[in-house]
Amino acid sequence: MDKGEQPKASAQRELLEETGYRAEIKHLLDIYPSPGYTDEIIHIFVAEGGEYVGEKLDEGEYLNCEFFTVDSVLKMIEDGEITDAKTVSAVYKYLFEKNK
């Protein structure tokens, strides 16, 4: 997040800059990766109803964006292909909210 920027505004800006999509952003959860030695907070959002308008990557930044079904992401988690805590937390929280 830029100094003084709110988490939702940062998520919308980063989504547009890095993927080229503008979408409705909804807060999903906040996680504290290592509260014992850092005060870092990761704010996780879900983007829905996206429209591609063109990315705005920083100079020297190259990204490949791909879309996956929820089932394929779950399989990648179960197969150990996706192991980072923020992604696993986000996927399971998303599924929990969707199935309430």
Q: Which residues are catalytic?
A: 59
The Cα 16–Cα 70 span in angstroms is 22
**45 CB neighbour count, 10 Å cutoff:** 20
- Retrieve residue 73's tokens: 């992401």
Closest CA to 72 of 81, 63, 60: 81
